[in-house]
Amino acid sequence: MNRVERALMHGLFIHLHHNIDRAIDFGVFRELNEKVSRVSPGELLVGPDANDDAAVFRMPDDSGLVAAKMESHCSPCVPRPYDSAATGAGGAMRDVVAMGARPLFLLDFIGTRPLDQEVIVGPCGFKGQCTCGSCETMTSGERVNLIVKGIRDMCETMGVYVVGGGLSTSFSDIVPAVVAAVIGRMVIDKPLTKPAKKAGNRLILIGKTDNDGNDTLYRAGLAGTMRPALALFDEEKETMEAALAVIKTGKVNACSDLGAAGIGAAVSESTRFGGLGARVDLAKAPVKRENLTPEEILICETQARMLFQVDPRDSAEVIAAAKSEGVEAVEIGEITSEKEAVFFYKEKEIARIPHEPPAELFE
């Protein structure tokens, strides 16, 4: 197991971001929802136990469908509160898009230390004392203002209302709580889902990759400093419109947004949940700079990207639909009948991710 395989599998199999069901018993919600369905049958299509990007449900007496997602972006707000709050909101919006919906409304919650207490914003924020010389000391209230501005600016760009939220100043931890919940209206009559559906389907990536967002490496202990993803406001808007144009073709069989652990997680989770495999050539992914390493292309969390799975006969039509909105879209691989996702850079194998974690991962 090489370095990047360990980092990616740590995120996929150990870190709670991808393994919430280890901390929360989704069975209690399933039982609750089954009871509620006796009163309002058929209203919940995708619930919390589905391991998908967002919930999908129908409001009583409404013929359309609604998608909703809540996402936190707490730790990244220590070094980069503005960008990380914005990307937290943008990530929740992409999750809603991944189900086939246009984001419309957002609620946010911020929890922080008392507003007059000092906090360190920058790479040393987790240490509580700056040793790099590039951090900024400010009040908790000033940091809250940056967080609010990040959420506000992303919503303005994406055309999303802020309809409510909450604030608590009773937190004592260095890390603030930053949570965004997004609600959207489906543009198709049934939800898209994350699991891979059929061997031979092509993987189409929308958006360009950069080297920002090393959260997965940091959480796995393979990077000394967290460098969160940068907010890409205009690109996020363009990607949303391109994704919705693709979805409206009716040719998408599965969809994921690219958030934590980037291409690696989007492909590996889809194949694992679908009981299939994948072969991906990272050299085909559109990039923003020429010197990106294959490992960075695989695992970095650059924003404003989506991944679609389509029948090979529909690949050209889907790519054309995305490009009609001015966004780069390319075929980077295909779904296989194997039980693992294999990532190459041209002919060189970079990572092989199985459906089950190897025992050495826990050593």
Q: Which residue has the tokens 């959260």?
A: 215
**In the 8-state DSSP scheme, what is residue 55?**
E
Instruction: Give percent helix, percent strand, percent coil of the chain, each to the nearest 5.
Output: 35, 25, 40
Q: Which residue has the tokens 């009583």?
A: 60
For 124, other C-beta atoms within 10 Å of its C-beta total 18
At residue 140, the 3 state secondary structure works out as helix
Give the neighbor-by-neighbor strand order of the sheet with 44-46.
Answer: 44-46, 55-57, 66-72, 177-186, 101-111, 161-168
Cα-based distances in Å from 251 to 4, 277, 288, 309: 33, 20, 28, 9
Instruction: Give the residue from 217, 227, 309 showing the smallest Cα distance to 9.
Output: 217
Q: Which residues are catalytic?
A: 15, 73
